[in-house]
Amino acid sequence: MAAYALGWSDTVGTPDPGGSEGKGVRQAFAVLGAEAVGADGAEAVPGAVAVELVHTFSLLHDDIMDGDALRRQRPAVWKAYGTGPAVLAGDALLARAVTTLAEAPGRHAASAVRCLCRTLNALVSGQAQDLRFERRSWYGPGAVGPEQYRSMAEHKTGALLGCAIALGAVLGGAPDRTVNALERAGRHLGLAFQAVDDILGMWGDPAVTGKPVHADLRRGKKTYPMLAALAGGGRAAHELAALLDPPRPLDHEVAAQVAALVEELGGRTATRDEARRHLDTARRALRDASLTHTAVQQLDRLFTYVLDRTR
């Protein structure tokens, strides 16, 4: 199941050259985090492995909670093997991640494990917020606001990206000030990453993203394009609010109408602007730290990829 989830094999364990192994962003950040503080990138390999295992664990459990049947253009693990086995596979990946860091050579393993455990607490908190938000109204008293959305996204997505780059620095022996600056950069990058995810979830090409379009919208997930559009006011905003009231699962036709209105109200543009703001903040955090020039250039290229990606 783990090999299938990681894109290495099909459901019966046969190597699958067509399987998607994901983007590899978090592993790259871990290695570059070490190189950015002047260490050998090999020092960060246990951190790179750990964050990818945690990411895969979170996807297995997220797909179950969200009812997503597809992941990377293949049946999600819970659809392929059943819910119970998928939960256990995620648990095993999480245990393996912690063990990998705990057994890392050198004297920084304990600090790295503490960093990962703090991130796991944040990750669970962010996912819990995301689930609670589905039951909140779209507008009026009790509606989710942009700051609440950012808090959720920082915990759910930003924390693991921040952890990835911080783990590289920790395993590379960097001082706390440098580790904190890199983690801050990663968290803001995660907010940009989530904003782009929100755009792809509403207007992306399922053949490229590997997930059905409008899935978050139909479940009532609170995403930045929706929040930005509803905040605009005017005729189109009232029309949008009417489509969302009363709160209910949306069918494909209504979801397409909602997506069109959100774009008309500037939701896509506002979300791109939100992503750019966090990307700029992440770059400023890098400039605040004393890092190697080459690694910073490579990090910057990865930052740009996050904004421009299509899946």
In whole angstroms, how far apart are CA 112 and each of 117, 125, 282, 287?
9, 20, 22, 23
Query: H-type helices in the chain, by residue range?
Result: 2-5, 25-36, 45-66, 77-81, 83-102, 109-133, 146-153, 159-171, 176-203, 206-209, 215-219, 224-230, 234-244, 252-264, 267-287, 293-308
Torsions phi, psi of 143, nearest 5? -70, 155
pLDDT tens-digit series, residues 233-246:
788 888 898 888 77
Express as a percent the part of the chain with pLDDT over 70: 99
The alpha-carbon radius of gyration of the chain (Å, integer) is 20
Q: Note the pLDDT of residue 152.
A: 96
Domains of the chain, earliest start first: 23-308 (1.10.600.10)
Classify 15 as helix, strand or coil. strand
Tell me which H or E stretch contains 74. strand 74-75
DSSP-derived secondary structure letter, 7: T
Confidence band of 79 (pLDDT split at 50, 70, 90) = very high
Confidence band of 16 (pLDDT split at 50, 70, 90) = confident
**CA 57 to chain centroid:** 13
Tokens of 15: 């190597």
Is the per-residue pLDDT at 4 higher than 80? Answer: yes
State if pTM tops 0.85: yes
Is the per-residue pLDDT at 22 higher than 80? Answer: no
Classify 213 as helix, strand or coil. coil
Cβ atoms 1, 11 nearer than 8 A: no
Longest Cα–Cα distance in the chain: 62
Tell me which H or E stretch contains 70. strand 70-71
Cβ atoms 193, 161 nearer than 8 A: yes
Is the per-residue pLDDT at 78 higher than 80? Answer: yes
Q: What is the C-alpha separation between 237 and 243, in angstroms, rounded?
A: 10
Mean pLDDT of 19-27: 81
Strand partners, 70: 75
Cβ atoms 237, 270 nearer than 8 A: no
Q: What is the C-alpha separation between 118 and 122, in angstroms, rounded?
A: 6
Is the per-residue pLDDT at 172 higher than 80? Answer: yes
Q: Note the pLDDT of residue 206.
A: 85
- In angstroms, the first-to-last Cα distance of the chain is 23
Nearest C-alpha neighbor of 108 from the set 181, 167, 28, 38: 167
Burial 144-153 (b: 16+ CB within 10 A, else e): beeebbbebb
Classify 219 as helix, strand or coil. helix
Nearest C-alpha neighbor of 50 from the set 4, 105, 102: 102
Is the per-residue pLDDT at 80 higher than 90? Answer: yes
Is the per-residue pLDDT at 95 higher than 90? Answer: yes
